[in-house]
A and B are shown apart, each in its own frame.
Chain A
Amino acid sequence: MQRPQAPLELRLYLNGHAPESAGVEDQLHRLFASVGLEFTVEVIDVNEHPDRADDDRILLTPTLLRLTPPRLRVAGDLSDLEAALDGLGLRVWSQRQALA
């Protein structure tokens, strides 16, 4: 499998009022560092843009959308890194790195 050249496009919905969303951006950087991939992320506070949450039918915060196909979504503060890797389809890169 080809390692993606372009950075992965992401969209992150968070709740600026809630502790669950506070550390999620840091956690996102940690996650991508662990697999050695680049990403770009659009961060949206649902309280400021509820219409965007409507469009994407988001219920939970934080919710991370992978926009680069395959489109996938992961909800939660990403504290469970293993589940997050699975949910974003990045597990395969994590294993390569472990072997290297």
Chain B
Amino acid sequence: MSISPVRKIPTGIPGFDAMAHGGLPEGRTTLVAGSAGAAKTLFASQYLAGGIRDFDESGVFVTFEETPLDLRRNLISLGWDIDAWEQAGKWRFVDASPDPAQDVTLAGAWDFGALMARITRAVEAVDASRVVVDSLGAVFSEFSDSGRVRRELRRLVRALRDLGVTSIMTVERTSEYGDVSRWGVEEFVAEDVVLLRNILEDEAARRTMQILKFRGTTHRKGEFPFAIINDRGIVALPLADSALTDLQSRADRIDSGNDELDAMTGGGPFRDSITLVSGATGTGKTLMVTEFMKGGARNGERCLLFAFEESRAQLIRNAKGWGVDYEQMERDGQLQIVAAYPETASLEEHLVRITDAIRDFEPHRFALDSLSALERASTPRGFRHFVIGITSLLKDRQVTGMYTATTPSLMGGASVTESHISTLTDAIVLLRYVEVLGQVRRAISVLKMRGSAHDHDIREITIDADGMHIGALFTNVDGVLSGAPRQLGPDEVEVVGTQG
């Protein structure tokens, strides 16, 4: 006897199938468990919609909770015309929702014979290969005899298997990290379990999904963030840890847009590297991004800029002030600017938008200004997921990246952002204000340059209508980076001076 390997059915839910190494195990029932509002119904609906849209497979939706009318209305906002699919014989509801006008009195032993007959007929009528049962919790609350309900659901799972369909059953959980389900359903839908979470962390909500188990077949482990996007529904982000493990930087180096900076970094950024530019407000981070974009354009590369601090008009005006014509670059197809407010969407939604833009525009360079603006509207874990997500995507596609981070204090100090993500970046450039002889001046230093020698000096920068200029060493002050610069005495200056 040969044991055939478990085949997978792609759900069509973006990102999930990659997590699931292909999709849901064919011919079986997967339990999708989650607390209230965890998007179980959406997940189940999207599985059917994906089947119809992407694979020409029909589906049956057995609803115990919402009425078909409500579901049609809710799902049309995602651009799914269930009505049309029903008429085309692609989608069929089995309405098992409670009828408010008809109370049922229980008087003795019963089974789900009528329900099963209706499901069987619906599956045959549209030749369905996908079935959704939403939700088991509603069944348990409708019928008090939970022992009988459990026995009948077990039979339903068997009946679905005999029909040869691949199905999803949703079930409620009471806590995000406790038992799989409230009613011990996992005892009989035990082979395949997916958990959806809606976690409230530091007053910010974060959604994740996790494949708890797939019997006899592989899947990615751990929690992955997901977002719910207008017009698209659930978009999972299984980007983490894909490319970060293999950091074989190509020796290929590129033009950062500033020759003096390239000299400091020992030849410019590596093609698939990420540079973090950190500094207080006004030290020149946005300017450095602007030069990075300019460097791309003058080498015939496409550049994508996501700006979360300034409006489009502001960005264009600023760039013009430094001698860079963003509008012309956009007309030439060399630049795409996306300006957004961090608070308008969740971090996961921003990540989906960025991912889409990178896929569509296929840039050689990507800049994000600033990470700190996004960090303010997120949780530490969510933020780390986000940075890992973008970083792995950029590396995967060999896009050169630049992120900016704003330090909270004007003089020195590390930003919160840096401490979270410095290990994810290949190069770190610090921009600092320095107080020297009663004047505030700006300093630059390359703190880290993975895979290359670099200048360890702290140099002065000046900004004019041509952009940024990197000048001489700060020879007469000490403690610039710490934020507590100290004037050196004449003797010390001499010592330092001879070295520089």
Assuming A21-B113, A53-B117, is B104 touching A63 (CB within 8 A)? yes
Q: Nearest-CB distance from B118 to chain A (Å)?
A: 5
**Candidate in A60, A72, A74, A86 with the most chain B CB atoms within 10 angstroms:** A60
* Majority secondary structure of chain B interface residues (helix, strand, loop or mixed): mixed
Q: Which residues from B are CB-within-8-Å of A75? A: 104-107, 110
- Give bound CA distance, A17 to B108, whole Å: 17
Residues of B within 8 A of A13 (CB): 114
B460 to chain A, nearest CB (A): 79
Residues of A near B103 (CB, < 8 A) are 72-73
Chain B neighbourhood of A17, CB < 8 A: 113
Contact check, A61 vs B113: say whether CB atoms are below 8 A apart.
Answer: yes
B112 at the interface (CB under 8 A from A): yes
Does B115 count as interface, using CB distance less than 8 angstroms?
yes
B96-150, CB < 8 A from A: 96, 99, 102-115, 117-118, 120-121
Contact A18 B108 (CB under 8 A): no
* B113 near A57: Cβ-Cβ < 8 Å: no
Asked if residues B95 and A74 are in contact (CB atoms below 8 Å), the reply is: no
Complex alpha-carbon distance, A74 and B113, angstroms = 15
- Chain B, residues 7-26, CB within 8 Å of chain A (1/0): the string is 00000000000000000000
Contact (A79, B109) CB under 8 Å given A50-B118, A53-B118: yes
- Please indicate which of the listed interface residues B96, B102, B118 has the most CB atoms of chain A within 10 Å of its own CB: B118
CA distance A5 to B364 in the complex (A): 87
In contact, B106 and A83 (Cβ under 8 angstroms): yes
A59 on the B face (CB < 8 A): yes
Which residues A36-56 have CB closer than 8 A to chain B? Answer: 46-47, 50-51, 53-54
Residues in A with CB closer than 8 Å to B117 are: 15, 46-47, 50, 53
Interface pair B110/A61, CB less than 8 Å apart = yes
Chain A binding site: helix, strand, loop or mixed by DSSP?
Answer: mixed
In the assembled complex, the CB of B144 is this many whole angstroms from the nearest CB of chain A, namely 12
Expressed in whole angstroms, the minimum distance between the Cβ of A28 and any Cβ of chain B is 11
B115→A54 contact, CB < 8 A: no
Q: How many residues of A contact B (CB 8 A)?
A: 37
Q: Contacts A50-B121, A51-B121, A57-B99: A73 and B114 contacting too (C-beta < 8 A)? A: no
- Nearest Cβ on chain A to B69's Cβ, whole angstroms: 13
**A20 close to chain B: CB less than 8 A:** yes
Residue pair A60, B108 in contact (C-beta under 8 Å): no
User: With a CB–CB cut-off of 8 A, which chain A residues contact B111?
Assistant: 15, 18, 20-21, 60-61
Min CB–CB distance A24 → chain B (angstroms): 8
Q: Which of A63, A81, A83 contacts B114 (CB 8 A)?
A: A63
Q: Which of A60-96 contact B (CB under 8 A)?
A: 60-63, 71-81, 83-84, 86-88
Q: Which residues of B contact A84 (CB under 8 A)?
A: 105, 107-108
| A73-B118 contact, Cβ under 8 Å, with A59-B112, A62-B110 | no
Bound form: Cα–Cα A51–B94 in Å: 11
- Chain B residue at minimum C-beta to C-beta distance from A51: B121
Tell me whether B113 and A80 are in contact (CB under 8 A): no
Establish whether residues A77 and B109, one from each chain, have CB atoms under 8 Å apart when the complex forms.
Answer: yes
Q: How far is the CB of B438 from chain A (nearest CB, A)?
A: 84
**Assuming the A-B contacts A50-B121, A53-B114, A59-B96, are A20 and B102 also in contact, with contact meaning beta carbons closer than 8 angstroms in the complex?**
no
What B residues does A27 contact at CB under 8 A? 108
Hey, which chain B residues are within 8 Å of A87, CB to CB? Answer: 104-107
Q: Is the CB of B115 within 8 A of A60?
A: yes
Q: Smallest CB–CB gap between B14 and chain A, Å?
A: 34
Q: List B contacts of A58 (CB < 8 A).
A: 114-115, 118
Tell me if B114 and A59 are in contact (CB < 8 A): yes
- Given known A-B contacts A15-B117, A51-B121, A60 and B99 have beta carbons under 8 A apart: no
Complex: chain B residue closest to A77, CB-CB: B108
- When the two chains form the complex, which single residue of A50, A72, A76, A86 contacts B110, counting CB atoms closer than 8 Å? A76
Bound form: Cα–Cα A20–B148 in Å = 12
| A50 B120 Cβ-Cβ under 8 A | yes
Q: Which of B256-275 contact A (CB under 8 A)?
A: none
A76→B113 contact, CB < 8 A: no
Complex contact B95–A76 (CB within 8 A) = no
A60 engages B112 (CB within 8 Å): yes
- Looking at B94, B96, B103, B113, the one whose CB has the most chain A CB atoms below 10 A away is B113
Give CA–CA (A18, B109) in the complex, Å: 11
Closest-CB distance, B81 to chain A (whole angstroms)? 22
A86 to B118, CA, bound (A): 28
B contact residues vs A (CB 8 Å cutoff): 94-96, 99, 102-115, 117-118, 120-121
Known contacts A50-B118, A50-B121, A77-B109; 11 additional CB pairs below 8 A are A17-B113, A51-B121, A59-B96, A60-B111, A63-B114, A73-B104, A74-B105, A75-B104, A80-B108, A84-B105, A87-B104
Residue ranges of A at the interface with B (Cβ–Cβ < 8 Å): 13-15, 17-18, 20-21, 27, 46-47, 50-51, 53-54, 57-63, 71-81, 83-84, 86-88
Q: Would you list 14 pairs from A and B whose C-beta atoms are within 8 A, ordered by A residue?
A: A18-B113, A20-B110, A47-B117, A53-B118, A54-B94, A54-B95, A60-B112, A61-B113, A74-B107, A79-B107, A80-B106, A80-B107, A81-B107, A83-B107
Q: Which 10 A/B pairs are nearest by Cβ-Cβ distance?
A: A87-B105, A15-B113, A76-B108, A61-B113, A79-B108, A50-B121, A84-B107, A83-B107, A77-B108, A58-B114
